[in-house]
Structure formats: C-alpha cells, structure tokens
Amino acid sequence: MRPEPLTPTTPRPVRRPVMTQQWRDVTMLHWPVDPRAVAPLLPVGTVPDLHDGSTWVGLVPFVMDEVRLLGTPPLPHVSRFPETNVRLYAVDARGRRGVVFRSLEASRLLPVAAARVGYRLPYTWARMRADRDGDVRTYATSRRWPGPRGAGGTVRVRVGEAYAADPLSRFLTERWGLFSTWYGRTAHAPVDHPAWPLHRAEVLQLDDDLVAAAGLDVQGPPHALHSPGVPVRIGVPRAL
C-alpha cells in the first residue's frame, strides 16, 4: 500500500444515469482509523484514501427519496425510505475517489434486492424510521435480513449553523464514485451531485452496533455534520 494516494480526479457529469435519487436529511458521523486496519476490507485495485495520514469510517443515516431507475417515474411506496450506511473511502490507480460500503440498511425490500443484484452492494432489509422535531433529527434502525438480526441502534443530532467546508469536510463529502466487487471483479460507478450544503451537528444520542457489525473498530466521539441533502445521479458500473 502506497503511503499517500494519487491526486484525486475531479467529478465528471453522469450524462446517462442508471439511477437518480434525492438524499435528504443526511447526518454524517465519522471517525479516523489506521489505514492498515481497513486496507484488507477494500476491493482489489483500491487502497485507503488518506487525509493527514488517516482514513475514515462513516456512519451515515438519511432519507432516500425520488428513486428512479433509467428515468422511470418514482414508484409509490418504494421510492422513499430511510437508509443508514457504514462506509469507507478508497482511491484507485487512476486517482478516482470513491465510497466503499460495508453495509447499507434500508426499510424497503425491493430496492434492497435490486441494489444487491445490480450493483452488488451489501444492502440489508431493516425496520427503520427517520423523524424531525424542530432542529433535532432522529434515526433508528433494527436489521431484519440478512443478519446479524437486530443490529442497528439510534442516532439523534441537533442541526446547527451553516458550515463552510474545510479540507476535512471536503475530503469526507466530495465523493464522485463508488467501488464494489461486481461479479468477481472490482468495479467503479461514477456518481454526480452538487456540493453538499453543510451544517454543524451536535450528537445528542449515539447507540450503534452497525459499525462493529461491519468489522470496524472506532474510538471516541465522531466528527459530525448534517446536510439537508443533494440530488444524485449514478452511472453504469465498469470493471477496473
């Protein structure tokens, strides 16, 4: 593993998206970890993306909305649902930054099945809720399938003032792709979205075992941000 990644590429518009969606009420909790601890968990051909010598583990609950496949209208009942993902950050030999999902909880079974087949993403079906009460956001999840059954917890934050992106927040949020192991090969799918409008977030409650269930060990309080959300376009996954 090289000590530092190549200079990351800049985003390119996804002109023919496979999927479009809105990510709303996004809370981003992150912890720094030793790159050596996560390198074995990344797809072949990628290495941990680094900021000041560390890589980061993210726990990100939000609301998925207006999910469209190949430009079709959103389907009633299945196009809006809460989601929580545990993520790592990687870079490939071409300098493309991307997210590597260790797990993704969703409350709708059909999108779970479609994402597991189409993008080979580790989606799980869960009981979930996402609530708003003034400036407080609460997310709760309990995994149904596959196991470990009952994995989940509760995240509750108070949304604060608008936050001008600094180098660390840009590192954590400016992700223009995702990496996955796609039918035996590492694949990259481009992702296109505007810059995140960011706010500070105060963690009021954090009861979570999803990070541990994903095989990761984090310590201390998280770096916390919130965003009202962005529209997202996801392109075709292609093998490295």
Cα(190)–Cα(136) distance, integer angstroms:
32
What local confidence, expressed as pLDDT, does residue 98 receive? Answer: 94
Residue 107 domain-assigned (yes or no): yes
148 neighbors 213 (Cβ within 8 angstroms): yes
Burial letters 203-215, b for 16+ CB under 10 A, else e:
eeeeebebbebbe
Residue 15 domain-assigned (yes or no): no
What local confidence, expressed as pLDDT, does residue 5 receive? Answer: 41
Nearest in space to 190 (alpha carbons), one of 16, 54, 3 = 16
Tell me the per-residue pLDDT of 121-136, one tens digit each, with 9 for 90 and over: 898 999 999 999 999 9
Residue 38 domain-assigned (yes or no): yes
Residue 14 domain-assigned (yes or no): no
Tell me the per-residue pLDDT of 112-170, one tens digit each, with 9 for 90 and over: 776 677 667 898 999 999 999 999 999 999 999 888 999 999 999 999 999 998 999 99
What local confidence, expressed as pLDDT, does residue 118 receive? Answer: 67
Q: What is the DSSP letter of 237?
A: -
Q: What residue type is 217 in one-letter code? A: D
Nearest in space to 107 (alpha carbons), one of 68, 70, 61 = 61
More confident residue, 193 or 69: 193
What local confidence, expressed as pLDDT, does residue 170 receive? Answer: 93
**Residue 2 pLDDT greater than 60, yes or no:** no
Cα(203)–Cα(137) distance, integer angstroms:
10
Residue 129 has φ and ψ, to the nearest 5°, of: -150, 155
Distances from the Cα of 195 to the Cα of 160, 173, 212, 223, angstroms: 18, 8, 30, 19
Nearest in space to 2 (alpha carbons), one of 88, 93, 89 = 93
What local confidence, expressed as pLDDT, does residue 32 receive? Answer: 98
CATH no. for residue 95? Answer: 2.40.400.10
Residue 16 domain-assigned (yes or no): no
Q: Please give the residue range of the domain that contains residue 98.
A: 23-239
What local confidence, expressed as pLDDT, does residue 4 receive? Answer: 43
Tell me the per-residue pLDDT of 20-56, one tens digit each, with 9 for 90 and over: 999 999 999 999 999 999 999 999 999 999 999 999 9
Residue 13 domain-assigned (yes or no): no
**Residue 11 pLDDT greater than 90, yes or no:** no
* Proportion of the chain above pLDDT 70, given as a percent: 93
Residue 137 domain-assigned (yes or no): yes
175 neighbors 189 (Cβ within 8 angstroms): no
Q: Give how many domains the chain has, as a whole number.
A: 1
Tell me the per-residue pLDDT of 170-216, one tens digit each, with 9 for 90 and over: 999 988 999 999 888 999 999 999 989 999 999 999 999 999 999 99
Question: Which two tokens mark 133?
Answer: 């009460």
Distances from the Cα of 217 to the Cα of 98, 212, 220, 223, angstroms: 21, 6, 10, 15
Least confident of 82-86, 109-113, 186-190: 109-113
Nearest in space to 87 (alpha carbons), one of 70, 102, 65 = 102
Residue 185 domain-assigned (yes or no): yes
What local confidence, expressed as pLDDT, does residue 1 receive? Answer: 40
